[in-house]
């Protein structure tokens, strides 16, 4: 076996790919089907936010991880479909979110030609400045999914809609914004009919500005992101997640802080 092929096989094995195989120029994969596409510079230390597993439905299943699409690399044929990144094992998904190839800013995400795919998946938030002195900056603090699981109907949410809303929406529709605003000391108020709570026009604008300066996001595509959420929350230190996260040392403090903010808001008049 050529050294390049042995090297790539080691990469597959080290990342828990279920059926290790070498994919190169005109390589033969497990199904026996030849594919004339080339993956340049497979590198397990530079996992992209678009990590995928591909499956050929017309032949015996084979799997291959796309670790680094670089210049000159060719895309697989359109007949290949994306399947769950969980097929690679949770450690790969963890790495893709905790140590992503790159992070994206509000300015980039909110562009008309947004880099965030209109697809299902998991997103992770890193902060250059932590929203609390008790939290570390420069690391993953929160994960979310889009869409959420719905038994009776199909959600219209996707990564692009959800991530963009976190950057420019309001606390009534974003638990991340609610958490950040409470930690930053922005006053929560009742608005509209009095049942919704946000930080008001001025407060939401201040929060959006803070996020533009400090919040960075990454993501991975996943057809059923809710199947990954519980595993990620249980195995990673995600202090800004509340749901399914009672084991986190920051959970009780954050829950209390948000509860107190709501109680104060109920005592105040409805904001215009």
Each residue of 209-267: pLDDT tens digit? Answer: 999 999 999 999 999 999 999 999 999 999 999 999 999 999 999 999 999 999 999 99
Cβ contacts of residue 111 below 8 Å, gap of 6+? none
pLDDT at 153: 74
pLDDT at 93: 82
pLDDT at 151: 72
pLDDT at 91: 73
Q: Rounded to whole angstroms, what are the CA distances from 117 to 33, 105, 161?
A: 29, 15, 9
Give yes or no for a contact between 95 and 188, defined as CB atoms under 8 angstroms apart: no
Chunked into runs of 10 residues, the chain (272 residues) has average pLDDT values of 36 35 30 28 33 36 34 29 40 89 97 96 97 97 93 86 98 98 98 95 98 97 92 96 97 98 97 82
pLDDT at 121: 95
Residue 101: name the closest of 143, 70, 142 by CA: 70
Enumerate the domain spans of the chain.
1-83, 101-267
pLDDT at 229: 93
* Structure tokens that stand for 122 in this block: 């998991």
* Three-state secondary structure call for residue 64: coil
Q: Distance between CA atoms of 47 and 5, rounded to whole angstroms?
A: 20
C-alpha dihedral (258, 263, 264, 267), degrees to nearest 10: 160
Estimate to the nearest angstrom the gap between the alpha carbon of 242 and the chain centroid. 16
Secondary structure of 48-59 as H, E, C letters:
CCCCCEEECCCC
Residue 23: name the closest of 73, 58, 95, 84 by CA: 73
pLDDT at 184: 98
Handedness of CA 177, 178, 179, 182 (dihedral sign): positive
* Structure tokens that stand for 46 in this block: 């530079």
Q: Would you give the end-to-end CA distance of the chain in angstroms?
A: 72
pLDDT at 57: 37
Any idea which residue has 């390589």 for tokens?
27
pLDDT at 92: 78
């Amino acid at each position: 076996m050529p050294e390049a092929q042995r090297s790539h096989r080691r990469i597959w094995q080290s990342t828990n790919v279920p059926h290790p195989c070498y994919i190169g120029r005109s390589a033969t994969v497990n199904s026996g089907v030849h594919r004339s596409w080339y993956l340049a510079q497979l590198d397990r230390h530079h996992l992209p936010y678009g990590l995928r597993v591909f499956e050929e439905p017309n032949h015996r299943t084979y799997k291959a991880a796309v670790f680094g699409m670089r210049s000159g690399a060719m895309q697989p044929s359109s007949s290949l479909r994306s399947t769950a990144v969980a097929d690679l094992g949770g450690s790969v998904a963890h790495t893709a979110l905790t140590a992503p190839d790159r992070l994206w800013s509000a300015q980039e995400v909110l562009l008309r030609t947004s880099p965030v795919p209109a697809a299902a998946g998991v997103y992770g938030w890193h902060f250059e400045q932590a929203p609390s002195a008790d939290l570390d900056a420069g690391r993953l603090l929160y994960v979310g999914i889009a869409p959420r699981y719905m038994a009776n109907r199909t959600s219209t949410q996707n990564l692009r809609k959800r991530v963009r809303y976190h950057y420019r929406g309001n606390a009534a529709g974003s638990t991340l914004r609610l958490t950040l605003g409470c930690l930053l000391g922005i006053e929560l108020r009742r608005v509209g009919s009095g049942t919704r709570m946000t930080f008001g026009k001025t407060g939401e604008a201040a929060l959006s500005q803070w996020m533009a300066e400090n919040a960075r996001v990454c993501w991975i595509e996943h057809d059923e992101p809710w199947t990954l959420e519980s595993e990620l929350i249980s195995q990673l230190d995600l202090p800004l997640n509340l749901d399914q996260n009672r084991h986190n040392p920051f959970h009780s403090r954050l829950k209390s802080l948000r509860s107190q903010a709501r109680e104060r808001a109920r005592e105040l008049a409805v904001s215009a």
